[in-house]
A and B are shown apart, each in its own frame.
Chain A
Amino acid sequence: MTKNNQKDKNRVLMVGNHIIGQAAIEAGCKFYAGYPITPQNELTAYMADNMPEAGGVFIQAESELAAISMIFGASVIGERVMTSSSSPGISLKQEGISYLAACKLPAVIVNMQRGGPGLGNISPAQSDYFQATKGGGHGDYHTVVLAPNGSQELFDLTYLAFDLADIYRTPVLVLGDGVLGQMAEPVTLKPSFKHEKTKVDKSWALAQTKNKEPKVVKSLFLEYGALENLNKELKKTYDIIESNEVRAETFYIDDCEIILVAFGATSRICKKVMMTLRNEGLKIGMIRPITLWPFPKKIISDAAHKKVKFLVVEMNMGQMVEDVRMAVFGKSEVHFYGRTAGIIPSEKEIIKKIRSLS
């Protein structure tokens, strides 16, 4: 078999939700618990089908609360773990995510977002940006948030999520949406890049035979100052993550009058818009945050000046735009265009908005 054929063997057509499942298995995920909710059911079914053969455990939990607590349990003993859901289910998981963060337990949580608030609808949305990037549950913590925008990134970033979770001992969120989950695209089922640090010490885990002293995993700290110490330790980790793990893609930002900012599925539409308008001679570029937390503040801030205008496009009523405004810090005009409740903004609408700016 030639090298090329070998490559082809790993190249398949797959829906996004299955890609995430396969990436998790490839990354060594050994425990998955899920609960039915649209539009991520294909992922749960994929794990049910494939985890046993991969030497892992699949459980359909009785609720999102139970699912996140089950992965908490498997993480306590040092296994690679994942759960997935969509917006309303992720709200329920916030309890467990806060405990995972406090106990410094690695875990991967996938949110294939749908329209909200409330039961909302089952169409794609990006309206959980605030919840994902500002903590989400109670207490002083962050989760790393990765925002893929297509098949290969669904694979690569899910794979990366497991490494980041282990390296920083933190829950990591993969933030997709209904479009990405349901869309089938060709994908290579091997990560196209890897984090430089993959082998991580897990001597903190419970029930390891080499443990001499009994160990406790806990998040209750009653003594004066003890909880503040934990929060300071977490903050230190977050600072390291902010300086090491920011990822973003940029297009033409040194030579433009308008910079689009978009993530996930919306960035695919915006890229198309950018190409169309550049062909017409408009000086337009784009910044696509890949990590939503840590947010690419510096990249945005460096691109901001008097002569450039920003247009943030999201599938919500304006959430990431707040972080863009903070990063721009008054150096440029920042505008927003969004559709919400499961409605995807069209190229035409975005182009109309851009024309209204110039």
Chain B
Amino acid sequence: MKKIFKKSPLLLDPVTHYCPGCGHGIVHRLVCEVIEELNITEKVLAIAPVGCAVLAYDYWDFDTTEAAHGRPLAVATGIKRMRPDLIVFTYQGDGDLAAIGTAETVHAANRGEDLTCIFVNNGVYGMTGGQMAPTTLLGQRTTTCKSGRDKKRDGYPLKISEMLAVLDGVCYIERTAVNKPKNVILTKKAIKRAFVNQIEGKGFSMVEIISQCPTYWALTPEEAVDKIENEIIKETPLGVIKDV
């Protein structure tokens, strides 16, 4: 039989700690494939977030540091300014990037730091048990908004990608999803783009990836990918938000 697909050697084989149907595994794979294809493994330094993906370094065969919750882009700034030869990327969730780390995110983007930000948005805090996130949609139920997110009480879902797009330091933002093969392919293309931009010294690039969290959406994996298709991307459409 002809082998038409093989896993990137940069993606390691630990017993997964992610839930069945979780989108993180796909994004991990895509990041590894891109790094391998761009032949930058030796130069890559990753920053893992606080959140479900904190253990990302268990899956990756390249140097990684943790950062305090919300601070990956500040840590990345310190690294990249000191060592412009490195390819530095952050891997962050919605709570990390768009709530506790909003200031670090906005200012790293605004300074036009030559960084790549992989922003995995699943609309909940997974690691702590499914609380409301800045990106939780109106009406979506979480452990801290059991009757659904209410705009009066909880405010609106934060459109962080659109917010960042107005900043002059930002060169590229695209929103993608990993709910079906076509979107996975587009996500990989976007991730590659965000890394190439850094190699070319263009400024701040971010890919917002809508990712499924079946566990805290209280859905089966199949229902979760359908929810992205039928509900989430209606509210937050996929596509390039900024490209200069």
Residues of A within 8 A of B (CB): 30-31, 33, 57, 59, 61-63, 65-67, 69-77, 79, 81, 95-96, 99, 103, 206-207, 209, 211, 214-220
Contact = CB atoms under 8 A, between A and B. Distances in A.
Contact of B74 (A69, A79, A214): A69
Contacts of B67: 69, 72-73, 99
Contacts of B107: 61-62, 66
B158 to A, nearest CB: 18
Contacts, number: 119
Given A207-B83, A211-B63, A72 B45 contact: no
Interface of B: 42-43, 45, 47-48, 54-55, 57, 60-68, 70-71, 74-83, 86, 103-104, 106-107
Contacts of A66: 71, 74, 77, 103-104, 107
B54 A220 contact: yes
A103 B79 contact: no
A81 B45 CA distance: 19
A9 to B, nearest CB: 31
A293 to B, nearest CB: 23
A207 B66 contact: no
A300 B67 CA distance: 40
Given A74-B78, A74-B79, A77-B79, A69 B68 contact: yes
A218 B66 contact: yes
A95 B68 contact: yes
27 contacts: A31-B81, A59-B81, A62-B107, A66-B74, A69-B104, A70-B78, A71-B78, A72-B68, A72-B78, A73-B47, A73-B65, A73-B76, A73-B79, A74-B82, A76-B45, A76-B78, A79-B82, A95-B68, A96-B71, A99-B68, A103-B66, A206-B64, A207-B83, A211-B63, A218-B66, A219-B66, A220-B54
A96 B77 contact: no
Nearest to A67: B74
A73 B68 contact: no
A69 B66 contact: no
Contacts of B45: 76-77, 206-207
A79 B63 CA distance: 16
B42 A70 contact: no
Nearest to B107: A62
Nearest to A61: B74
Given A69-B75, A73-B75, A214-B61, A96 B68 contact: yes
A76 B82 CA distance: 11
A75 B82 CA distance: 10
B104 A209 contact: no
A320 to B, nearest CB: 30
B63 A215 contact: yes
> Can you list the 10 inter-chain pairs with the closest CB atoms, starting with the nearest?
A73-B78, A69-B74, A70-B78, A69-B71, A73-B75, A62-B107, A74-B78, A217-B65, A66-B74, A73-B79
